[in-house]
Chain A
Amino acid sequence: MTELIIASIMTIMTAATPLIFAATGELICEKSGVLNLGVEGMMLIGAVFGFAAVTVTGAPVLGVFAGALAGIFASLIFGFLTLSLLSNQVATGLALTIFGTGLSALFGLEYVGKTIEQIEPIHIPLLTDLPIVGRILFGHDPLIYLAIAILGLTAWFLRRTRAGMVLRAVGDSDYSAHAIGYPVIAIRYAAVAFGGAMAGLGGAYLSLAYTPLWAENMSAGRGWIALALVVFASWRPSRVLLGAMLFGGITILQLNAQAAGFGIPASYMSMLPYIATIVVLVLISRDSTRIRLNAPACLGRAFRAER
């Protein structure tokens, strides 16, 4: 029984990690006032380029970097279109997802069916061997720790640092931030790039650690779940962790239910994260103060500085 619980926690963590990466990136991006719906596309691009890098070089670290860089590249296309050319963020984000799906499928053709060495869980003598908590605390792969560290840093960044305060300010009122003299567009570019890097990392996690292979459309909607997760967490990093575990748990539940042959079609299970998000949206919208304090007021709005 204990073994089963430990195993469940371990798998839930691996399912949650890509969501944590992608949602943390999107959270920062949205906090700056930019809604990037291209997370799914950026994850796929990150996944295929990460996989390709490892196939070519054999070095998992390079794969992780390649995934993040590819994500940044994709997000900067989005940034250029929406921030510099002021195109509609929703439409451009959707286009980015479609573009990412297509690009990754095309580029990934020659990698289908190839295998690489999986990024292995760490093993620290003594610590990992502790009963029960050993594996839960010290037995994951390095990227899981990276995801949690980045999430923690993000929370600290937003709450405690001046740069974080400026980022929140830009998302709250781009007009005011510009009037005071902050470079709104540059800050948003940075936030969008961070969002891209994180989505790319999330994608790379899928193809390097979660299942060490490349398959077309392998993110299977996780980008959308990450987007929902940001709203679910009402733009607060601490709740991203909670939500990612929850949504990750549902994913695992769905697989197990299928394996155990329960009569519930998988489609119903895949709906769960979205239903949960809608329920949370309804609940938090009853409390207008909370929305006012956490939701970036400028989300999705184009900003053009007069000169």
Chain B
Amino acid sequence: MIPALLELRGIQKIFPGCIANDDIDLTIAPGEIHALLGENGAGKSTLVKMIYGVLRPDQGEILWRGESIQIDNPASARALGIGMVFQHFSLFESMTTLENVALALPAQNLDLLRVQLEKTANEYGLKLHPDRYVYDLSMGERQRIEIVRCLLQDPKLLILDEPTSVLTPQESDVLFETLRKLVAEGRSILYISHKLEEVRALCGQATILRGGKRVDNCVPVEETAQSLAEKMIGRRVEPIQDRETPMSTQKRLVVSNLSKRSDELHGTDIQDVTFTVHAGEILGIAGIAGNGQTELMAALTGETGPPQSGSIEIENQDATAMAPMDRRQLGAVFVPEERIGQAAVSNLSLIQNSFLTSGKRMGFISAGIIDWSAVDAYTGHILDRFDVRATGRDALASSLSGGNLQKFIVGREILQTPQLIVVSQPTWGVDAGAAAAIHEQIQGLVANGAAALVISQDLDEIFGLCDQIAVISQGNLSTPRPAAEITTEAVGLLMGASNHASGDALANA
């Protein structure tokens, strides 16, 4: 019998306040794509960081080709033949592609490396420009740098941490091709993901983690996405329910020819964006991060001041030059992408945080005095209705997990019974159960006549939740189309579109 390439036995890692990994076993055979499945916070990243020597296990044993070893740091992991592509890339933005690759390899001549880099990149169909600076590159290109620099070390085991979370469907397909080539050469891949269809299509084996423990081992093709999800979450998950759309001609949000320059160093200017959201309608805006979503959201909330041109009407009133609080007074609420720092203040209590956006709308202030007991009751209501797990109403926002904080923030806005809810990445980093709850609440609100605008990178969410779909790419928004009339592929093409011209892709879809 061929010994396993990598075997973990009884790995344990404890962080202050939580057991990140508890008694985990994992075996990877040569030439296998092994999936590591689990929800956010299940301990996947911690586990692979120990394999890659970034973290050290508190207990347990790591065997490489049958021999017990200790991996002290990433350099020794690389020396063994373990390469890793991080979810949050470990790249240097102010340096070139070539320099970024060179930094991860032992010292060598840069000119020779350039030749090698181009050769390897071509071999695996990974397009790269050695002299371009990283800050200038798309997420897909950045990932290719990470992969190529791993490949240049001739790894036996390649670890990929949620590689497709930043890619278009087309970019993902290219990645899968590359991965299959690698496996055909006898290399092994440890593939971390929570996208189940992907795992079923790609991986031969799967290890499922939940709450820091290994709960199951399975062969993904023998499972359904539903059964994998249940193993991951530990209970049944209801898919997003279809609903009857009470279509209405009442306009809640009208954005016309909106152009706004980005305030950020490398932000994307939004150009000539036009769309309308009616009562009883959910408009989804898909797109890869960094294509103007942040700027669009800021223009809609009003936090970065009036736009350069165009107009925003909320409830038939011109809100183009209004401040955020005035827009809220018109009946709009906003859930921005950044939970800490934008949606919530980390070192304020939940009560104080709920006051921040609801104070004026919910009438918690009289003659300049805050009625804290009313805010307190309101906060309790949010925690109950949205099943927010916190130590209490006076818990600090920073003490909540990402998913719980998101439930709190969405709840805080929805309970204000708005006419319009604008929400960016509603379920990013939220576990499946909480995501379903958030979706249900948004749908419930819309069923009662409100309108919703959902900006999301998650195509499953966009297709499952929205009635109309538009795609934002490089600051341009495609014309919204009914969800039933377009395909994932067409949306994917638009997401990767380099200019406005590819609006044709939708027409042909």
Report A's interface with B, CB cutoff 8 A: 162, 165-166, 168-169, 172-173, 175-182, 288, 291-294, 297, 306-307
Contact (Cβ within 8 A) A292 B94: yes
Q: Which of B75-101 contact A (CB under 8 A)?
A: 75, 78, 86, 88-95, 99
Contact (Cβ within 8 A) A294 B94: yes
In the assembled complex, the Cα of A288 lies from the Cα of B135 at a distance in Å of 11
CB of B104 closer than 8 Å to a CB of A: yes
Instruction: Spot the interface stretch: B48-56, B238-246, B285-293, B453-461.
Output: B48-56
Closest to B99 in A: A165
In the assembled complex, the Cα of A177 lies from the Cα of B99 at a distance in Å of 13
Known: A169-B95, A180-B103, A291-B265. A306 touches B90 (CB 8 A): no
Closest to A179 in B: B90
In the assembled complex, the Cα of A165 lies from the Cα of B92 at a distance in Å of 11
Q: List 20 A-B contacts (CB under 8 A).
A: A165-B99, A165-B102, A165-B103, A168-B92, A168-B94, A169-B103, A172-B92, A172-B93, A173-B92, A176-B90, A177-B103, A178-B54, A179-B74, A180-B74, A180-B103, A180-B104, A181-B53, A292-B265, A292-B266, A297-B94
Query: B interface, how many residues as a size bin?
Result: 20 to 34
Chain A residues whose C-beta falls within 8 Å of the C-beta of B304 in the assembled complex: none
Contact (Cβ within 8 A) B89 A176: yes
3 smallest beta-carbon distances between A and B, as pairs: A181-B74, A176-B90, A179-B90
Contact (Cβ within 8 A) A292 B93: yes
Number of A-B contacts (CB under 8 A): 64
Q: How far is the CB of B76 from chain A (nearest CB, A)?
A: 8
Chain B residues whose C-beta falls within 8 Å of the C-beta of A179 in the assembled complex: 54, 74, 86, 90
Q: Which of B387-440 contact A (CB under 8 A)?
A: none
In the assembled complex, the Cα of A175 lies from the Cα of B104 at a distance in Å of 14
Closest to A160 in B: B110
Contact (Cβ within 8 A) A306 B54: yes
Interface centre among A162, A178, A180, A182, by most chain B C-beta atoms within 10 angstroms, is A180
Q: How far is the CB of A289 from chain B (nearest CB, A)?
A: 8
Q: How far is the CB of A305 from chain B (nearest CB, A)?
A: 9
Apart from A172-B92, A177-B90: 12 A-B pairs, beta carbons within 8 A: A165-B95, A168-B95, A169-B95, A169-B99, A172-B93, A176-B91, A176-B92, A179-B90, A180-B90, A288-B265, A292-B265, A306-B54
In the assembled complex, the Cα of A297 lies from the Cα of B134 at a distance in Å of 13
In the assembled complex, the Cα of A133 lies from the Cα of B195 at a distance in Å of 72
In the assembled complex, the Cα of A293 lies from the Cα of B74 at a distance in Å of 27
Contact (Cβ within 8 A) B92 A181: no
Contact (Cβ within 8 A) B107 A306: no
In the assembled complex, the Cα of A178 lies from the Cα of B103 at a distance in Å of 11
Chain A residues whose C-beta falls within 8 Å of the C-beta of B176 in the assembled complex: none
Q: How far is the CB of B268 from chain A (nearest CB, A)?
A: 13
Contact (Cβ within 8 A) B94 A293: yes
Chain A residues whose C-beta falls within 8 Å of the C-beta of B54 in the assembled complex: 178-179, 306
CB of B40 closer than 8 Å to a CB of A: no
In the assembled complex, the Cα of A166 lies from the Cα of B103 at a distance in Å of 7
In the assembled complex, the Cα of A175 lies from the Cα of B90 at a distance in Å of 7
Chain A residues whose C-beta falls within 8 Å of the C-beta of B91 in the assembled complex: 173, 176
Chain B residues whose C-beta falls within 8 Å of the C-beta of A166 in the assembled complex: 103
Closest to A172 in B: B92
In the assembled complex, the Cα of A98 lies from the Cα of B279 at a distance in Å of 64
Contact (Cβ within 8 A) B95 A288: no
Chain B residues whose C-beta falls within 8 Å of the C-beta of A307 in the assembled complex: 55-56
Contact (Cβ within 8 A) A292 B90: no
Chain A residues whose C-beta falls within 8 Å of the C-beta of B93 in the assembled complex: 172-173, 292, 297
Chain A residues whose C-beta falls within 8 Å of the C-beta of B56 in the assembled complex: 307
In the assembled complex, the Cα of A176 lies from the Cα of B74 at a distance in Å of 12
Closest to A176 in B: B90
Closest to A163 in B: B107
Chain B residues whose C-beta falls within 8 Å of the C-beta of A181 in the assembled complex: 53, 73-75, 78
Q: How far is the CB of B86 from chain A (nearest CB, A)?
A: 6
Known: A165-B103, A292-B135. A306 touches B55 (CB 8 A): yes
Closest to A173 in B: B92
Q: Which of B83-142 contact A (CB under 8 A)?
A: 86, 88-95, 99, 102-104, 107, 133, 135
Q: How far is the CB of B365 from chain A (nearest CB, A)?
A: 36
Chain A residues whose C-beta falls within 8 Å of the C-beta of B266 in the assembled complex: 288, 292
In the assembled complex, the Cα of A60 lies from the Cα of B147 at a distance in Å of 55
In the assembled complex, the Cα of A178 lies from the Cα of B92 at a distance in Å of 12
Chain A residues whose C-beta falls within 8 Å of the C-beta of B90 in the assembled complex: 173, 175-177, 179-180
Chain A residues whose C-beta falls within 8 Å of the C-beta of B94 in the assembled complex: 168, 172, 292-294, 297
Chain B residues whose C-beta falls within 8 Å of the C-beta of A173 in the assembled complex: 90-93
In the assembled complex, the Cα of A294 lies from the Cα of B133 at a distance in Å of 12
In the assembled complex, the Cα of A291 lies from the Cα of B266 at a distance in Å of 11
Closest to B105 in A: A180
In the assembled complex, the Cα of A7 lies from the Cα of B133 at a distance in Å of 45
Chain A residues whose C-beta falls within 8 Å of the C-beta of B103 in the assembled complex: 165-166, 169, 177, 180, 182
Q: How far is the CB of B165 from chain A (nearest CB, A)?
A: 17
Chain A residues whose C-beta falls within 8 Å of the C-beta of B78 in the assembled complex: 181
Q: Which of B232-265 contact A (CB under 8 A)?
A: 265
Q: How far is the CB of A227 from chain B (nearest CB, A)?
A: 21
Closest to B78 in A: A181
Closest to B103 in A: A169
Interface centre among A181, A182, A307, by most chain B C-beta atoms within 10 angstroms, is A181
In the assembled complex, the Cα of A132 lies from the Cα of B95 at a distance in Å of 43
Chain A residues whose C-beta falls within 8 Å of the C-beta of B265 in the assembled complex: 288, 291-292
Q: Which of B53-79 contact A (CB under 8 A)?
A: 53-56, 73-75, 78
In the assembled complex, the Cα of A306 lies from the Cα of B53 at a distance in Å of 11
Chain A residues whose C-beta falls within 8 Å of the C-beta of B99 in the assembled complex: 165, 169
Chain B residues whose C-beta falls within 8 Å of the C-beta of A297 in the assembled complex: 93-94
In the assembled complex, the Cα of A293 lies from the Cα of B133 at a distance in Å of 9
Closest to B72 in A: A181
In the assembled complex, the Cα of A179 lies from the Cα of B265 at a distance in Å of 25
Closest to B53 in A: A181
In the assembled complex, the Cα of A307 lies from the Cα of B56 at a distance in Å of 6
Interface centre among A168, A172, A182, by most chain B C-beta atoms within 10 angstroms, is A172
Chain B residues whose C-beta falls within 8 Å of the C-beta of A294 in the assembled complex: 94
Closest to B52 in A: A179
Q: How far is the CB of B44 from chain A (nearest CB, A)?
A: 16
Q: How far is the CB of A163 from chain B (nearest CB, A)?
A: 9
In the assembled complex, the Cα of A175 lies from the Cα of B56 at a distance in Å of 17
Closest to A306 in B: B55
In the assembled complex, the Cα of A111 lies from the Cα of B173 at a distance in Å of 75
Q: How far is the CB of A299 from chain B (nearest CB, A)?
A: 12
In the assembled complex, the Cα of A294 lies from the Cα of B74 at a distance in Å of 28
Q: How far is the CB of B480 from chain A (nearest CB, A)?
A: 32
Chain A residues whose C-beta falls within 8 Å of the C-beta of B102 in the assembled complex: 162, 165
In the assembled complex, the Cα of A293 lies from the Cα of B93 at a distance in Å of 8
Interface centre among A162, A179, A291, by most chain B C-beta atoms within 10 angstroms, is A179
In the assembled complex, the Cα of A291 lies from the Cα of B86 at a distance in Å of 26
Question: Quick one: CB contact mask for B263-291 with A, threshold 8 Å, 1 for yes?
Answer: 00110000000000000000000000000
Chain A residues whose C-beta falls within 8 Å of the C-beta of B89 in the assembled complex: 176
Q: How far is the CB of A199 from chain B (nearest CB, A)?
A: 25
